[in-house]
Structures are given as C-alpha cells and as structure tokens.
Chains A and B, each alone.
Chain A
Amino acid sequence: QVQLQESGPGLVKPSETLSLTCTVSGDSITSYFWSWIRQPPGKGLEWIAYIYYSGSTNYNPSLKSRVAISVDTSKNQFSLRLSSVTAADTAVYYCARVLGSRVVPAATFDYWGQGTLVTVSS
C-alpha cells in the first residue's frame, strides 16, 4: 500500500521560505510523477507543482517564480520550497502521487498524504 507523509515546520514567518518534505513508502519514487497541492483554510484545492525522478518538473504559473520542487531518490522523498511567503500562503499542504495520461505526463492524483497545516505568521 502506497503511503505518503508530509513533514516540516508548521509555522513560518512572513518573507521567509516554507520547506516541506514528503516521504513515500510502499512504492518507488522512480515509478511515477509526484506533486504538491495546497488548500487554504475553508477554501478549494490548488495544484502547486510536480516532479519526475529524473528531475523533470512543472509548476503552477501563478506560483512559479517562488516555488522549487526537488527529489531525493536515495531517501524516496521529494520536497517543496516556497519563498517570500505571506499570510496568503497559509494552507494545508498535501503531497500526492500522480498518474499520467495520453495527453499529459501527470494527470490524476491517486494517492495523497494526510496533509500538513503551515501557518504564515510573525
């Protein structure tokens, strides 16, 4: 059974960098694309980025200038960095496995972590 677990600080100061790691178990990180999605409190879902083990990435255009996603195959983990955070970045951050499709390499989120709340506040 595939399991994903997010980890990282629950509180980040404004203007600083948010850093999260997702640890994958029950599957090799070299087999699929892997993604970050976030959900502000009481609001909807927003896709942030995805990565393949080879390092191929894709970012949400609205966040691209502040986001970096990376992968560590030796630890079966992938990570997110979001710079210059503001209160608007307060959200539950989910990591997820992504299946491909005929038209795009990453299409469907089939396994999700439980999510971790990150609050941006001084």
Chain B
Amino acid sequence: DIQMTQSPSSLSASVGDRVTITCQASQDITNYLNWYQQKPGKAPKLLIYDASNLETGVPSRFSGSGSGTDFTFTISSLQPEDIATYYCQQYDNLALTFGGGTKVEIK
C-alpha cells in the first residue's frame, strides 16, 4: 500500500491567516491526489482533485499543489467556517489510501 503522511496533525490559526498543510506519499503518485474537508459530525466533502483542481462550488481561497511525493494544501485566508479536519487521499493504485488528517482550529 501507498502510505500518506500528513503534517501537522493539528494547527491553530487566526481568521485571515494563510494555512498550509502538507501530504507526503511513500512513493511517486504523480498528481493522483485528492483533498477532502470534514466538519464535525459530517461526511467528508471533496475540495480538490488531481492535486490542484478545485471542485465546482468550492471557494477559491482553497488551493492545492505538488506532484511526485510531496503535496501542499493551502487556505489563503482562513475563515471561521473552515474549521474542520482535512484529509489527503491517493489514487495511484487500486488500493486507495488516506492521510491521517489535519485538524484546523481558530486561535
């Protein structure tokens, strides 16, 4: 299986701050990576696919980049409604795997 390592596991930032989350794959996954947002008690929601493509309807303050083994997810200006846990997920092979998640809180 391809292991996905996210960091940090949690962070606290102020409204308006730029927030960055990283996801590292245990092997080259090209750009076969998605990012999801999960709010407490809710199902995950797809935000970004193919590492950098914004899903329809997702605010433009969310973005993704990277290729190979190293990927970044960014919130350009943190909003109160962005409080959630964020997960990366690879689809380079048939066994789909998620990162451990990053919990984002407001300072």
A interface residues, Cβ below 8 angstroms from B = 44-47, 50, 58, 60-62, 94, 101, 103-104, 106-110, 112-115
Contact = CB atoms under 8 A, between A and B. Distances in A.
Contact of A61 (B1, B38, B87, B98): B1
Interface residues of B, number: 27
Contact of B100 (A44, A62, A108, A112): A44
Contacts, number: 64
Contact of A108 (B46, B93, B95): B46
Interface of B: 1, 30, 32, 34, 36, 38, 42-46, 49-50, 55, 87, 89, 91-101
A106 B34 CA distance: 13
The A interface is mostly helix, strand or loop, or mixed, namely loop
A96 to B, nearest CB: 8
Nearest to B93: A104
Q: Is the interface of B mostly helix, strand, loop or mixed?
A: loop
Contact of A103 (B38, B42, B91, B98): B91
A107 B96 CA distance: 7
A60 B36 CA distance: 20
A28 to B, nearest CB: 20
Given A60-B95, A109-B46, 7 more contacts: A44-B87, A44-B99, A45-B101, A101-B50, A104-B94, A108-B49, A114-B42
